[in-house]
Amino acid sequence: MIKQVQSTRFLVLCLLVVVAAATRALPLLLPNIWNFTAVGALAIFAGSQFNNKSLAFIIPLAAMALSDVFIGNGFNLAVYTGFVAMVACGVFIRNKVNPANIALASIAGAVVFFLITNFAFLYSWYPRNVHGIVESYIMGLPFLRNMLIADVIYGVLLFGGFYFLEKRFPSLASIHVRDTATNN
């Protein structure tokens, strides 16, 4: 694993993840763009691009935690659980990364994130009944819309940008292989 961590590919991927995580501060700078960040795209991207499955989860989670420190969000279990589910969608397509699979993973990830987080917020903001559940999901639809739009834009930037970097700098390209005890 040390060899992988020292690789140029790993460092570039980490840099892209950290920069994407920094977009979480956009709603603080620009009003009315809640949930329009690169978080969803970075989750799918990290899950599909890091060769080591553990690092595919650890690196984006660490970037999220770091951004939480700077923007003062604090830890929210529902948000991190939804984020882990999104990374898992990326891992699911890691050996078959193409535009259609990226789009499907992004939609699935955003919907799962929406379902997890809005159900969790139901308990603190809405009545605990069917009406509360429905209201929670209806009120969350603008956030889902923003996340889906952001996933398209940032997904194109992350996946497209890295694709062009791989073509320009072949040392960044990687053949995805199965994780084993000796191969990270």
Instruction: Provide, rounded to the nearest whole percent, the portion of the chain with pLDDT above 70.
Output: 90
For 44, the token pair is 């799918």
Burial of 181 (0-12, 13-18, 19+ CB in 10 A): exposed
Q: So what's the pLDDT on residue 34?
A: 79
SS3 38: coil
**Per-residue model confidence as pLDDT tens digits over 1-47:** 555 556 889 999 999 988 888 888 777 777 767 788 888 999 999 99
Task: Calculate mean pLDDT across residues 142-164.
Answer: 95
Q: So what's the pLDDT on residue 179?
A: 40
Half-sphere exposure of 60 (CA within 13 A, CB side): 34
pTM of the model as a whole: 0.85
d(CA 132, CA 142): 17
The Cβ of residue 89 has, within 10 Å, a number of other Cβ atoms equal to 25
CATH architecture of structural domain 9-172: Orthogonal Bundle (1.10)
**Per-residue model confidence as pLDDT tens digits over 101-137:** 999 999 999 999 999 998 887 767 888 888 888 888 9
Residue 117 near residue 82 (C-beta atoms within 8 A): yes
Residue 47 near residue 94 (C-beta atoms within 8 A): yes
- Torsions phi, psi for 183 (to 5 deg): -120, 110
Where do the structural domains in the chain lie, given as residue ranges?
A: 9-172
What's at 134, amino acid-wise?
A: V
Q: So what's the pLDDT on residue 4?
A: 59
Q: So what's the pLDDT on residue 52?
A: 92
For 95, the token pair is 């050996």
For the chain, the average pLDDT equals 86
